[in-house]
Structure 1
């Protein structure tokens, strides 16, 4: 597609984290941007502050007339939209240029030097670290993030257009639209079985993604995965390996062994070995791209994180409140490892909102095992997202499988009082649904007490 002939870009589902990053890209490239979303949020407010026209009721009558010209308008939609969506059907039936977000991302990146981050866990953090490293090394990058970077308060980083950094999303095989020059695969744990059916089909899609690299492209693989590539790992014999790990005042201090030399005394401020692994692969890709080592060391130390990825909201000697997007058993395990490493001996309460009926059904035993590692657990009802209920799949069913005495299922209205009753030293909110909306209430209540 020749984007020069496009003057208007209309988004259906503009408030999504990936969609809003694309919207910011087109605003930065002087296109007129508008869109629909179901709910007004901080993300949509941020876009409207840039001049983006957004409405929250599905109906063609709400669309500015200039966006109804099929010759000059590109329509981008998220696959999360229901098939009966009125606006989407109007654009399709009237032969507009209508593409999924992933298709447009592929078109944007195909004529750039593209660095893509794939994996069932760690994509957003790794992408944001990589974008930050390249930006701080003054590379001409455009980075599309799946979360809000604490360094830039945005899911979009721009310092030029020659290099792109993107998340390669495995959901509905979206990442197969990309043609990266460099790519990494952080993990291939079973997920999205509502789309793939079986774990083996998900692994096959990662194999297909590996074949999408441009000729002479470089593929980085977490050590232990069943794909060939440049390996990375922690305290092992990988091509890139973290060595001599110490924790000083809550900060990791370590060395990195590369194929050519050892980088010494690097610092990284996010807790958890999973985050250390994310930092390592981002560093390895930046090294292979050609960034100066000393600039990378400085840039890594200045990385602040991504909102809702082990985000501290209260941090005192007596009480700690952390929010995280973890919505898969392996992600919960990673958060557990991090919090035990940073707060040994403290009573830890996990407040978890399961995300999707199908994911809860498919991994119920693994969720129960992961959650049983905490000292106490509070469950909220399942967040349905795009799904209808599945008979018998409930938070009460999951609760019954958790091997803990201190466990309960509560409503959002009861949540703060139940957290207070727990007398926990460390409180975690976990999940990918609307549990993030409860964070501000919890923070307000316990900041007063702290």
Structure 2
């Protein structure tokens, strides 16, 4: 039975080393909770909603308050760890301050965990979760036994019940390869929001892309560049031996590499579709065939597990990192061959039968930046090719944050060129002020889309959108639901409304 409670009296007696986690149900936070407990720390926590993650944690023996936060922290609590979504005015944050309990962000706590391990940090505006997941699969296949924290559910990282998670506990020492007996590998995403990745302690890192995002925090693209440069400086000095010292693998044409790497001492290798890159990628979209060369020499050929140029680049980045960490190349290719994807990243939900016959294929994707939207829609059109049989590409896109939508409104309007129909729910309100909320609306995006000739509409609530999707979609269409908020519910609801099969005549 999951241990879920709303009463602080149910918390178990704590050891001298104990922490309480606010937002424990998130992918990263739940993985960190498991890692800390493996190190002998007593961990309890709270989350605003019950979820498969909180249920799984409860089944593993964690004590969690779900729903309204408990009235107070446990009697013995040495630290509080808060997710990035938790406000400083949260009641438990205020109580921790009153009691003098140290408060750490998720990134600060993850950085402390990295200090005693061989940290590998996956950074970049796009592709962090997919690259991290692919890298973890390759290292597992190569018997390097990594500890992994991914911000998405991964079928290749199951819990004891076989459910996909974003966590794996690995070895205390690297068991094989050129880094054998070095501290165990800790693979994690390095999120740039609010400069949180500056808290990490990586030995090896990558930066796949650098674009304008989180401008509510940074204010300008120059500040974003500065933040990535400071992140790169965290790496130790490099050596001629890639198994020693710091290494940065950075996008040749996608990450402003000259600005970002200026003044850093780590060993640097570039990666990209440019033949001049150290790791040069050739990709054929129709077959998804990838050919990878390293400094002019053949490195590997494989079929990319997911469609799209961006997926090919993510897989190549994971390959280069795994190779740098000592994985044999045959194992990396085997891992990619059996990779089953991750939750909400070009995730195929299924084929939905339509009342008049035929089906609509449904995808779910986390993309919420204009570049991600454009890359995902282009990849789906290239891979599924609905136009070849009279179908259309229908997109339900929920903008994430009013500030992001306002700052990047023109870029968003230009990102939907591959879509035939776009339905826009209300903007997902998170991390912004009430004043910001009134500066832009979903209707503004729809107006921009219509001015570019895109068939677009603004609808809310989700039930109304499901009804509209039912009315709009026809057999042969491709439906993709996109956004970082709860918009995934629309894809699931549409699938659940599938018409019942006609009775079989006897």
The TM-score range, normalised by the shorter chain, is over 0.9
1:237 pairs, out of 254, 270, 276, with 276
1:447 CA displacement: 7.5
Pairwise mapping of residues 311-350 of structure 1 onto structure 2 (< 5 A)? 311-315=347-351, 318-344=359-385, 345=387, 346-350=391-395
Pairwise mapping of residues 10-21 of structure 1 onto structure 2 (< 5 A)? 10-21=20-31
2:49 pairs, out of 31, 39, 51, with 39
Aligned-residue Cα RMSD (Å) equals: 2.2
**2:75 equivalent in structure 1:** 68
Distance verdict in 2 for CA 1:409–1:125, change over 3 Å: same
Distance verdict in 2 for CA 1:264–1:126, change over 3 Å: closer
1:94 CA displacement: 1.1
What SS is found at the alignment partner of 1:313?
strand
**2:209 equivalent in structure 1:** 187
Most deviating of 15-24 and 349-358: 15-24
2:247 pairs, out of 198, 211, 218, with 218
1:9 pairs, out of 2, 10, 19, with 19
1:32 CA displacement: 2.8
Count the aligned residue pairs. Answer: 439
Give the structure-2-normalised TM-score: 0.82
2:459 pairs, out of 410, 414, 424, with 410
In structure 2, how many angstroms separate the alpha carbons of the residues matched to 1:387 and 1:56? 24
In structure 1, how many angstroms separate the alpha carbons of the residues matched to 2:362 and 2:16? 46
Pairwise mapping of residues 285-296 of structure 1 onto structure 2 (< 5 A)? 285-296=321-332
In structure 2, how many angstroms separate the alpha carbons of the residues matched to 1:23 and 1:378? 38
What SS is found at the alignment partner of 1:214?
coil
In structure 1, how many angstroms separate the alpha carbons of the residues matched to 2:500 and 2:346? 22
Pairwise mapping of residues 297-308 of structure 1 onto structure 2 (< 5 A)? 297-308=333-344
Most deviating of 106-115 and 21-30: 21-30
Contact 1:325–1:432 at 8 Å: present in 2 too? Answer: yes
What SS is found at the alignment partner of 1:34?
strand
Distance verdict in 2 for CA 1:6–1:178, change over 3 Å: farther
1:18 CA displacement: 1.7
Deviations 1:157-190 (A, max 9, x none): 2221311111111011111112211111011110
1:385 pairs, out of 425, 430, 437, with 430
Contact 1:256–1:264 at 8 Å: present in 2 too? Answer: yes
In structure 2, how many angstroms separate the alpha carbons of the residues matched to 1:234 and 1:124? 21
1:156 pairs, out of 148, 164, 167, with 167
Contact 1:376–1:404 at 8 Å: present in 2 too? Answer: no
In structure 1, how many angstroms separate the alpha carbons of the residues matched to 2:67 and 2:94? 15
The structure with more radius of gyration? 2
In the alignment, structure 1 residue 426 sits paired with structure 2 residue 478? yes
In structure 2, how many angstroms separate the alpha carbons of the residues matched to 1:191 and 1:86? 30
Give the structure-1-normalised TM-score: 0.92
Distance verdict in 2 for CA 1:232–1:269, change over 3 Å: same
Which residues of structure 2 form unaligned runs of 5+?
A: 1-14, 158-163, 173-183, 239-245, 262-267, 353-357
Distance verdict in 2 for CA 1:231–1:48, change over 3 Å: same
What SS is found at the alignment partner of 2:167?
strand
In structure 2, how many angstroms separate the alpha carbons of the residues matched to 1:405 and 1:181? 46
Deviations 1:75-132 (A, max 9, x none): 2112321222111111122112321111111110112111111001111111111111
Contact 1:21–1:144 at 8 Å: present in 2 too? Answer: yes
In structure 2, how many angstroms separate the alpha carbons of the residues matched to 1:110 and 1:336? 40
Which residues of structure 1 form unaligned runs of 5+?
A: none
**1:207 equivalent in structure 2:** 229
